[in-house]
Amino acid sequence: MLQYQTIPVTPFAQNCSIVWCDETRKAAIIDPGGDLDTLQKTVGKLGITLEQIWLTHAHIDHAGGTAELAERLNLPIVGPHTGDQFWIDRLADQSRMFNFPLSRPFTPTRWLNDGDTVSIGNSTLNVRHCPGHTPGHVVFHSPEAKRAFVGDVLFAGSIGRTDFPGGDFDTLIDSIKQRLWPMGNDTVFIPGHGPESSFGEERKRNPYVRDLQF
C-alpha cells in the first residue's frame, strides 16, 4: 500500500509529499520546491530510499529544488507534461521574482502524458493531465490508496489561479470536473497548498466547482 507524508516547503508553504511503497520502502518525492535539507532529513528518519522525483507542474514553489536534488542524489525527474517547458526555462527568473534561492532549469528524464502511470516499489499511480493553472500540469492518482496529489489544480474550498501566462479558467474547471471527479467522491486529495479534502466535499461546498443539485 502507498504511504505518504506531506511537508510544507518554501515561503509559499507548498505541500511537498514524500510517497513510498511500504513493502519495499522505495520512495518518490512529489514537488521538491525547496528546503531540501529538511526533506532529506525526513527521508532519513522514515528509513526509506528516495528513487525518483515526480513533478505536478513547474512553478518555482513546486519545482525550484528539482535540479539540485536530482544532482545531489542522482535521481530521475519524472514529469510534468511538456506544456510546462516554458515554466522550466524560466525557473531562474521565477526564483528572482519571488525572492527564492536561485533555481535553475533541468531536463525531465521522462515527460508525462494523460493516461501514463508512474510506479514506486509495488505501488502504481495513474497520471492525469489537468491543464488550466499551467498548460503542463499533471495529477498523480492512487486508486488503491484513494489518494490524489493534485498540485495547484484544486484546493479545499478554492481552485488554482488562472491569471499566469498559459493559464485558463474554463480549461481548469474542465480538468477538475472531467478528470478529478471520476476518481470518486471518497478520494482524498493532497493540494499544493493548505489542508487535504475529498472530491465529494468539494462537489458539495467548493463555490467554484460544486454540483448544482446539492
Binding residues for Zn ion (CB under 5 A): 59, 61, 152, 192
Sheet containing 123-129: order of strands: 117-120, 123-129, 138-142, 147-151, 188-191, 197-198
Measure Cα distances from 57 to 1, 132, 160, 179 in Å: 25, 11, 12, 16
Of 51 and 168, which has the nearer Cβ to Zn ion?
Answer: 168
Q: Give least dist CB 23 to Zn ion, A.
A: 31
Q: In terms of Cα–Cα distance, which of 15, 10, 194 is closest to 98?
A: 10
Which of 59/128 has CB closer to Zn ion?
59
Q: Are 22 and 1 in contact (CB under 8 A)?
A: yes
Determine the Cα–Cα distance for residues 75 and 56; give it in Å rounded to an integer: 16
Q: How far is the CB of 164 from Zn ion (least distance, A)?
A: 8
Cβ proximity of 185 and 202 under 8 Å:
no
Q: Nearest 5°: phi and psi at 205?
A: -120, -20
Shorter beta-carbon distance to Zn ion: residue 56 or 187:
56
Residue 86 and residue 82: Cα distance in Å, rounded? 9
Residue 206 beta carbon to Zn ion: minimum distance, rounded to whole angstroms: 17
Nearer to Zn ion, 26 or 59 (CB): 59
Q: How far is the CB of 59 from Zn ion (least distance, A)?
A: 3
- What is the closest distance, in whole angstroms, from the C-beta atom of residue 133 to Zn ion in the complex? 6
Residues contacting 25, CB < 8 A, separation 6+: 47, 48, 49, 121
Q: Which CB sits closer to Zn ion, 80 or 121?
A: 80
Grid cell listed for 12: 509559499
CB of 92 to Zn ion, least distance (A): 17
Comparison of 35 and 152: residue with beta carbon closer to Zn ion: 152
